[in-house]
A and B are shown apart, each in its own frame.
Chain A
Amino acid sequence: GAVVSQHPSRVICKSGTSVKIECRSLDFQATTMFWYRQFPKQSLMLMATSNEGSKATYEQGVEKDKFLINHASLTLSTLTVTSAHPEDSSFYICSARAAGSSNQPQHFGDGTRLSIL
């Protein structure tokens, strides 16, 4: 089945640090990847849609300068949390959908738990 790998699985760092999270589709090409954030006991909240070779589309209320997204290839998207602060601590999850298959499901990574001290 389709596999999405996310790295790192956990990050703990000091306030003010920038953190990069990678999302890779291992056995399929993904023209579109999605980034979500999940706070404890809450549902997933879509942050942005990452399109290969073009700018990401951010959801309302998500700061694009704070959460930088790069989707430079058909198998890799990155999310960089810039100048992270304690309120950015959360569970970040990516997903990917195979190219050319509009109704096929998204496949999710196992998430990155970010803790800012």
Chain B
Amino acid sequence: DAKTTQPPSMDCAEGRAANLPCNHSTISGNEYVYWYRQIHSQGPQYIIHGLKNNETNEMASLIITEDRKSSTLILPHATLRDTAVYYCIVRSGGFTSGTYKYIFGTGTRLKVLA
């Protein structure tokens, strides 16, 4: 089972910030949070990942709560091209055991409105 829960859908006005929440209350101390998005009929696109500090790159910002049980992906100025399904993933398994893998949840379907 996926280790994250997300709202099934959200709308956002074009040009406004899109804030996508994710709960990962069972996250372990050394597990990273990864965000991807999938535009229709394409493979998932990597956005950002983090451990406990807030992260920012050219695509988005990632805010992780101090207890690490939840995070928020922020798209600062959403455009129509940001319409996609956004997945928050906490890696399952351990690298050294060779069982490291992603288990995808249902994600959040973000619709950016003109």
Contact = CB atoms under 8 A, between A and B. Distances in A.
B interface secondary structure, majority: loop
Interface stretch (B10-18, B21-29, B71-79, B95-103): B95-103
B106 interface: yes
Interface in A79-116: 91, 93, 95, 102-103, 105-111, 113
Interface string B39-51: 0011111100101
Nearest to B47: A105
A78 interface: no
Interface stretch (A13-21, A38-46, A65-73): A38-46
Q: How large is the interface on B (under 10, 10 to 19, 20 to 34, 35 or more residues)?
A: 20 to 34
A101 B107 CA distance: 25
Contact of A105 (B49, B104, B106): B49
A101 to B, nearest CB: 9
Contact of B34 (A34, A44, A46, A105): A105
Contacts of A109: 43
Interface of B: 32, 34, 36, 38, 41-46, 49, 51, 87, 95, 98-107
Please give me the 6 A-B residue pairs with the lowest Cβ-Cβ distance, nearest first.
A108-B43, A102-B95, A44-B104, A43-B104, A110-B43, A108-B44
16 contacts: A4-B43, A32-B100, A34-B101, A36-B104, A49-B101, A51-B98, A57-B98, A57-B99, A91-B41, A95-B44, A102-B100, A106-B102, A108-B44, A108-B45, A109-B43, A111-B42
